[in-house]
């Protein structure tokens, strides 16, 4: 199926939970969906005979400008039918919370921990949501564009030495 057909299929199934279909020259065609129905949509993508999206290739947090909402982007691939789709959800900057899909796609487990670590996006229902790259006692989420690096970490200077 083409992305356009998958989008039509999702709209028929989920109605107004599907917000829009974005096609840009340089990006994969993306379906923007409402965050609260993400888990349902993922289950549908995985279990429907005509779609069979068995692989979540990638999950990424994203901060476009440091002011507007954060987003999470999901790249799916069906290894049986060899088609692709990209989902995108938006979540508020402060207390950003998304439902975890780690119990649907195992890939999401570490990827969601990474998004939590670097963007501070909480994933509800994640089995073990803790930092994956930075130390446990790190403060802040450094890939957010409004992040300001601390001067010291455990007595080691972070800012450049003058």
Partner 1 sequence: MGALNHKFNENILITSLDKLLNWSRSGSEWYFQFGLACCAIEMMSAAAARHDLERFGAMPRSSPRQADVMIVAGTVTLKMATRVKRLYEQMAEPKYVISMGSCANSGGPYWQHGYHVLKGVDQIIPVDVYIPGCPPRPEALIEGLLHLQKKMREEPRLAKKEGQE
Give the nearest distance from C-beta 79 to partner 1 in angstroms.
33
Residues that bind partner 1 (CB under 8 A): 133-135, 142, 147, 149, 153-154, 156-158, 160-161
Cα 67 from Cα 112, distance rounded (Å)? 22
Nearer to partner 1, 14 or 153 (CB): 153
For residue 63, the minimal CB distance to partner 1 (Å) is: 15
- Closest separation in Å from C-beta 149 to partner 1: 4
> Can you state the percent helix, strand and coil of the chain, rounding each to 5?
25, 25, 50
Which CB sits closer to partner 1, 104 or 134? 134
Distance of closest approach, residue 127 Cβ to partner 1, in angstroms:
23
Nearer to partner 1, 19 or 133 (CB): 133
Sequence-distant (≥ 6) Cβ neighbours of residue 47 within 8 angstroms: none
Helices (H) and strands (E) in the chain, counts: 3, 9
What are phi and psi for residue 72, nearest 5 degrees?
-125, 135
């Amino acid at each position: 199926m083409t992305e356009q057909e998958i989008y039509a299929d999702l709209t028929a199934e989920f109605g107004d939970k599907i917000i829009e279909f974005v096609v840009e020259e340089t990006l994969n065609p993306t379906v923007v969906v409402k965050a609260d129905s993400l888990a349902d949509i993922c289950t549908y993508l995985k279990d429907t005979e005509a779609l069979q999206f068995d692989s979540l290739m990638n999950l990424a947090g994203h901060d476009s400008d440091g002011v507007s909402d954060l987003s999470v982007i999901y790249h799916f691939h069906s290894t049986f039918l060899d088609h692709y789709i990209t989902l995108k959800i938006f979540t508020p900057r402060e207390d950003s919370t998304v439902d975890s899909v780690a119990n649907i796609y195992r890939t999401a487990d570490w990827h969601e921990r990474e998004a939590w670590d670097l963007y501070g996006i909480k994933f509800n229902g994640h089995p073990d949501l803790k930092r994956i790259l930075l130390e446990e006692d790190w403060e802040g989420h450094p890939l957010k564009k409004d992040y300001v690096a601390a001067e010291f970490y455990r007595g080691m200077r972070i800012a450049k030495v003058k």
